[in-house]
Amino acid sequence: MTGDPADTNPELYRVVFENERVRVLEYRDTPGDRTAPHRHPDTVMVTLSAFSRRIRSGGREVGVEMPAGAVRWVAAQEHSGENVGGTPTHAMFVELKEPRPGGAAGGTALGPAGP
């Protein structure tokens, strides 16, 4: 797996809180910005702005359109992304540090899951 997003893209991701159970990242970008490949553990995403992005991983690609104020589950994954919309992105990621119950492995989801 590739790296921590706060290391791969420090100009876009900022750690705003961390303890032994969670880490909270703030993410901000502008139209056309791209992230380097990075990984997230199981995460809750809270969108503070509406945005449109393209997420890529392992030859797969998905488009993601999110309204402001949405809360979504993002299963552990590795990906890169690009702001393909006309507005900046602002979101918070609450990354879980505890393992999945029963040690279950992450799925093959790409991008956030619906409500």
Q: Residue 17: name the closest of 93, 98, 112, 99 by CA.
A: 93
d(CA 38, CA 30): 18
With residue 6 as reference, give the H or E element that holds it.
helix 5-8
**For 72-106, what is each residue's pLDDT tens digit?**
999 999 999 999 999 999 999 999 998 777 665 55
pLDDT digits (tens, 9 = 90+) for 103-112: 655 556 666 7
Q: What is the pTM of this model?
A: 0.86
SS3 at position 1 = coil
Q: Average pLDDT over the chain, rounded to whole?
A: 91
* pLDDT beyond 70 at 15: yes
Percent of the chain with pLDDT over 90: 82
Q: Is the pLDDT of residue 11 over 70?
A: yes
Please report which confidence band the pLDDT of residue 114 belongs to, taking 50, 70 and 90 as the band edges.
low
As a whole number, mean pLDDT of residues 50-69 equals: 96
